[in-house]
Structure 1
């Protein structure tokens, strides 16, 4: 303190001499002295900030180089130690306010408010950097827990910012925090309306994390928006989905639990993918099989046993019922569409890329004005998109071509688009 007294006396003498030489009045001298002190005071704080920042960063580097942990590296990269370094010069500056400006109580009052606000901002910076570090440490792998951590961290940052703003308001208005909070009660409805998406996003994140519905990395489809892709981020207010054309779609987080969302991740984990596609046949090409066509079909490897077995079964049935077979409609007979359906089923059963442990069938759908759809319902033994499309294409390439051998006509709806 004696050093500061000597400094103040010498400082005033120098500035009074300087101002007298330039013919300034008493008030001008005082203002000049105050401005000079503020500049010197600010310069001292900048020097202290530089010194302490170098010291803290040096110590931080030594600590992370001597440990095998990952979290201290993340703290260092997010400049958490730099935030700690700000406290030391500010604390020294706050202590020196009264001795340096002891004859100027108004200046002391304003400087104390400024320092209080700076302390609040530094604490806010420190909290945000710590929260970011914790989020990076906790979300190193994609999991359902990641969504909860991200939602909690973003909500905590928003609350911290709001709380610090309220503290700054209380410092500027000289009111305690309770009084400020009470005065804000009247605009609670407006605050809730403004942060509606934030609140809904937080609730959605907690629900998704607890029920394990969706996580980052899942392949999903949202019918409401007609989008399908991979989830790359789920935060407090929105979810980012990378579509298969490499575009990014952002949807509200709340929509992930409030609308119909298809999650294909289970399918990908099982490494299977469904084929559900139909071939449209002209009903006019359907016909009963005669002896010539049956003899031809008996040479088809996949259905020759089926035809032999069915012929025996039908022959016994018609004989027992004493049915006149001279009329085609009488009795039981094989049809070309029925034999083709069995051929398609046998083809799928012997296909090495079609899963035999899942549902596998060939069925008729409801007739349409364009013909009768025959649907193939099965699963490939891979979920990879490129391989899946190749398998599906090869199956339909074969069956569409094979339909001609059964005298079936595939309906081709013509339009005026093509000549």
Structure 2
């Protein structure tokens, strides 16, 4: 082995020995030999890089194009072959530099120091490339598509860079990595303060994933941050939400477990999306029904049988109790509001877009200054937003248009034209008087 190293060293000193034998000054011959050796080394490295890039990397790229898996495609995108290809030039430098600079120990020491630093950084780059490749590949898999893979990869990358900087610092100071790690423990309080947000984000990411609080693709509403849209990214520090107006809102990851927000995933996974809206009616338009009113309402198909059966039941009750029906207030009576409620309920039960397996309720709420609320509560089969809004509008278009047929009136705050008409009519009456 010693003979081989000696022969290998003689190759690098060949030009120097030749020049000295020809009478050239020893110092000058040494520098000329150094310059030529460096030139040859640089050319050899450039040639090696060209070969690696032209053949090795391109061959790897061609190979990945023929495979069915996408993992190797992501390796190309993360520059993994490019980083690995640098190992061969580094080996050439590692075995050549000690012989080239054998006569320049201080310069050799500096070059080896920079070489070791670069080797550490290259190792970090290679591992980082593998981590990014794994992250991108897992995010394309259906079973991992809604998991915060980005958060986990960022944590691993942070740990990787910390280890890399530890080795670099150990190389600079000449201390071992273990002694540096021990001294780092003494400064843990300061590190906890500096990386507080990162640590909180990491803990939050784990809790979000383990408890399945939020997934990528979930629709969330977070009033505190003005977010209302789909989650597009979950990483170590932030959650990115694309709002319905196509703007983006960034939310601290820790806020998902420290604050309250609304996740609509349950609605999206349920068999229906809730419709809950009220029609406000004038209370003064509610009345008991006369026989003429009943005869007219019997012609409405959706409530014809109800009006007939209900009235027969009421008549039997009133006859049995000898109720004086000369006054409608006596005994039991049907009202236009009661029949309209039944009409709305029957209409919803027959609507093709309503899920009949879920609640269908038409109910009165407590009277307000804006009138008597008649609330519709049901669930549409189609949960897509645009179709949901169309179904809701279709239902209320019909019900609002149906109100006058039951001698009811919708409540509406008076507009400027209403007030103007009242004043005009009042003026006309004054003129007539």
Shorter-chain TM band: 0.7 to 0.9
Structure 1 counterpart of 2:5? none
Per-residue CA distance 1:258-279 (angstroms, 9 max, x = gap): 3334333343344532110101
Between 1:135-144 and 1:46-55, the stretch displaced more is 46-55
Paired positions, count: 410
What SS does the aligned partner of 2:367 have? Answer: coil
Looking at structure 1, the residues matched to 227 and 78 of structure 2 have their Cα atoms a distance apart, in angstroms, of 35
1:119 equivalent to 2:127? Answer: no
Looking at structure 2, the residues matched to 148 and 13 of structure 1 have their Cα atoms a distance apart, in angstroms, of 70
Counterparts of residues 233-244 of structure 1 (less than 5 Å): 233-244=233-244
Structure 2 counterpart of 1:23? none
Structure 1 counterpart of 2:14? 6
| TM-score using structure 1 length | 0.87
Per-residue CA distance 1:362-384 (angstroms, 9 max, x = gap): 01122211111111000112112
Looking at structure 2, the residues matched to 213 and 323 of structure 1 have their Cα atoms a distance apart, in angstroms, of 62
1:62: how far off?
5.2
What SS does the aligned partner of 2:325 have? Answer: coil
Distance 1:317 1:223, change over 3 A: farther
What SS does the aligned partner of 1:130 have? Answer: helix
Looking at structure 2, the residues matched to 406 and 146 of structure 1 have their Cα atoms a distance apart, in angstroms, of 51
Distance 1:254 1:285, change over 3 A: same
Distance 1:323 1:100, change over 3 A: same
1:323: how far off?
3.0
1:147/1:235 contact within 8 Å kept: no
1:357 equivalent to 2:365? Answer: no
Structure 2 counterpart of 1:336? 336
Counterparts of residues 193-272 of structure 1 (less than 5 Å): 193-270=193-270, 272=272
Distance 1:300 1:30, change over 3 A: same
Structure 1 counterpart of 2:375? 375
2:148/2:234 contact within 8 Å kept: no
Distance 1:228 1:414, change over 3 A: farther
Structure 2 counterpart of 1:157? 157
Looking at structure 1, the residues matched to 334 and 65 of structure 2 have their Cα atoms a distance apart, in angstroms, of 81
Alpha carbon RMSD of aligned pairs, Å? 3.0
Structure 2 counterpart of 1:311? 311
1:294: how far off?
1.6
Looking at structure 2, the residues matched to 238 and 54 of structure 1 have their Cα atoms a distance apart, in angstroms, of 41
Counterparts of residues 5-404 of structure 1 (less than 5 Å): 5-9=13-17, 41-42=41-42, 44-61=44-61, 63-64=63-64, 67-143=67-143, 146-270=146-270, 272-404=272-404
1:303: how far off?
0.8
2:364/2:373 contact within 8 Å kept: yes
1:36: how far off?
8.1
Between 1:356-365 and 1:145-154, the stretch displaced more is 145-154
Distance 1:18 1:293, change over 3 A: farther
1:127: how far off?
1.0
2:148/2:216 contact within 8 Å kept: no
Looking at structure 1, the residues matched to 385 and 333 of structure 2 have their Cα atoms a distance apart, in angstroms, of 42
Distance 1:10 1:307, change over 3 A: farther
Between 1:157-166 and 1:36-45, the stretch displaced more is 36-45
Looking at structure 1, the residues matched to 39 and 311 of structure 2 have their Cα atoms a distance apart, in angstroms, of 108
1:172: how far off?
1.0
2:217/2:230 contact within 8 Å kept: yes
What SS does the aligned partner of 2:224 have? Answer: coil
Contiguous gaps of at least 5 residues in structure 2: 1-7, 421-433
Distance 1:67 1:162, change over 3 A: same
Per-residue CA distance 1:124-164 (angstroms, 9 max, x = gap): 11111111111122111354565243322111111111221
1:8/1:100 contact within 8 Å kept: no
